Every structure is written in C-alpha cells, then in structure tokens.
Amino acid sequence: MNTPGAELALPIDDSALADRLRARMATVEEALYGHASSRAPYVTEAARHLLAAGGKRFRPLLVLLAAEAGPRPDADEVLTAACVVEITHVGSLYHDDVMDEAALRRGEDSANARYDNLVAILTGDWLFAKSSELTAQLGPEAVRIQAETFTRLVEGQILETVKPGPDEDALAHYLEVVAGKTGSLIATSARYGALFSGAAPEVVTALTEYGELVGTAFQLSDDILDIASESEESGKTPGTDLKEGVPTLPVLMARASTDPADARLLELLDPSRSDLAADAQLHAEALDLLRKHPAMAQAQAYVVARAQEAKQRLQALPEGSVRTALEAFADVVAVRSA
C-alpha cells in the first residue's frame, strides 16, 4: 500500500499533511504554466519545454513543507514563492544544458538539442526575468534574498568552469561550487516557506541552514547518479560530467587513491586529459571503472552525513508530522535513485 504522500516524492505518514501539500502543489503546478506564458507562442513553447518534462519539484515542495512550520502555511505569498524557486531552477537548467552540451534532460530532448544554444540561453534568461517579476510581488526583503541567491547560483556556475589553483584544495573548491549552484536556491526554498508563513525567526534560520545542507546533499547525490545510473533510470545521459571533465565528488575521491591497482582509472581521470568527450570507448571504460571503485561508496557516505547534519538543524522545530516529513525529505535526497 502506498504511503499518503508517495506521489509527492517523499514519504509522509500524516494523511492530512499529505492532502494539504498535494492540493497546494496542484495549485502551484497550474500557476507555473501560467507564469511560463508569453504573448509570443514560440517563447511559451520553449519556456514550457523543460517545465513539461516534469522533475520531482523538490524546491516548491520544500517551500510548502517549510511553510507548515508557521501559522499561515496557505498564505498566497507561500504559493508565489514556490513558483519563484521552481521557475528560477528551471531557468538555470536551460543554461546548464548549454554548458554541459547535454542531449537529454529528464528523459526528453534538452532545450539546446531541441532548439539551439541561442534559444536555450535566451529562454533561461526569460524565465529568470519572470521569477524576478514574481519576487517583486513578495516585497523588498524577498527581492534582496532572491538577488543574493541568484548571485550565489551564477557564481557557482562560473566557478564550476574554473579549475582550482595549485595550492587550492580541489574538494573544497568543488563544495563551494555545489553550495552556490544548488545549495543556495534550496536554502532559499526553505527560507521562503518559513518566512512567508510567519514562522518564528529562529525557525526561519534553522530551516535556511537545513535547506543549505539538503541542497548540498541533493547536488552531490545527483553527481553520484550521473555515474551510477542508466539513462533510462535517471533521464540523463550517464557520465555527462565525466565526459565534460567536471570533477564531481566520486571523481575527486577516486583521484585521491594511492592504490597501484587504480593506475588505469587515475590515468583516465587525469585532469589534463581532454579525450573522454570525443572517445566513446575511453569514456565507457572510465565510467565502468569508476562505478566499481570504493570512491562511490565513500561519496554516498559523505552525502548521507550531510543529510544527517541537515536533520540536526530541525531541533528548532517541535516534534510532529512536519518535522518528521522534513527529516524524511533529507533522507530521500541523500539516497535517491532518480
């Protein structure tokens, strides 16, 4: 038998809470399509392309769930904030796919594959503009938060293209990228939900910190999936980051190996190599060796630890179904398979 909130992509044992979230997510989903509408039909089609491809909708769901920690979880501002974070996220995916030269997104053609890079970039910009319009409806503080979040998100994207210096720790550099690229918006999702539902300041702070840690775990889990899953499972081309030379957590941990048996893998993962993208056989070999390496288990353990830290931040919330659901949210993010 399915749990009450199974279709919400996380387990919720409280039927009443699951029903509330399900109803509000339906409202948000309808609103998203309305916001992704332009007077130009071609823009509407392009803007709705990745929106229609689906996804877990983790960010708006987190807004709605965090809002349950306040006295006004059904406030109009909460629903608007849920749309803001998802539209911002979807806009970033258009740019991300151009940077990755990805062919698939959520099992569908990426925007750059369906249209071209120019249309994908401009569509992402258009969606960012729409999220800004919506944020303006939420007041000056929301505008400030969104501006700071967007700064961190874009900075993370830029830093991802910059190799760490010779004296810089590669893992620390990468975690900074993750914190900006993914942690920032998920932290804001939790923050918006608590803030616009009228939660106490200490709860807003706790949920913001929780969101940052969950966001880090989410991205690191995604990086593990990029290596571990098949395309039909994840909806993405396996090994995209590996092919593009993006050093994710499993790769960085594998590179730290001093085992002579890993010589071939280390040769393939050498940062100076540039032939994995062009040579399908070499890419497949590297992917196979990496999947079998202990670095995969080490990376998974690291992700689980971040999720545990996130759950510790929830001590500021009273015990109950909302806190339990937020704990489950962290667990699902850490061990997700899609």
**How far, in Å, CA of 50 to CA of 57, rounded?**
12
Residue 3, pLDDT above cutoff 50: no
Given this model, what pLDDT does residue 84 score?
A: 98
CA separation, residue 117 to residues 40, 114, 310 (Å): 19, 9, 37
pLDDT score for 158? 92
pLDDT higher at 193 or 102 = 193
H helix and E strand count, the chain: 17, 2
Question: Whole-number mean pLDDT of the chain?
Answer: 90
Q: Which domains does the chain possess?
A: 15-199 (1.10.600.10)
Q: Tell me the mean pLDDT in the region 191-207.
A: 98
Using CB atoms within 10 Å of the CB of residue 292, give its burial: 0 to 12 exposed, 13 to 18 middle, 19+ buried.
Answer: exposed
Range of lowest pLDDT (11-15, 52-56, 136-140):
52-56
Of residues 278 and 205, more confidence is placed in 205
Q: What is the pLDDT of residues 58-103, one digit of tens each?
A: 999 999 999 999 999 999 999 999 999 999 999 998 888 777 666 6
The CB-based long-range contact list for 271-280 (8 Å cut-off, 24+ gap) reads: 271/163, 271/245, 271/247, 273/245, 274/245, 276/242, 276/243, 276/245, 277/243, 277/244, 277/245
β-sheet bridge partners, residue 105: 108
Q: What percent of the chain has pLDDT over 70?
A: 93
Q: How confident is the model at residue 6 (pLDDT cuts 50, 70, 90)?
A: very low
pLDDT of residue 2: 42
Which pLDDT does position 135 carry in this prediction? 98
Task: Name the least confident of 26-40, 120-134, 264-278.
Answer: 264-278
For 268-322, what is each residue's pLDDT tens digit?
A: 999 888 888 889 999 999 999 999 999 999 999 999 999 999 999 999 999 999 9
* Residue percentage of the chain with pLDDT more than 90: 68
**pLDDT mean over 135-155:** 97
What's residue 106's pLDDT?
A: 60
Q: Which H/E stretch holds residue 180? A: none
**Per-residue pLDDT for 10 more than 70?**
yes
Do 186 and 215 touch, CB atoms closer than 8 A? yes
CB atoms within 10 A of CB 283: 18
Whether residue 222 is predicted with pLDDT greater than 80 in this model: the reply is yes
Q: Which residues contact 154 (CB under 8 A, 6 or more apart)?
A: none
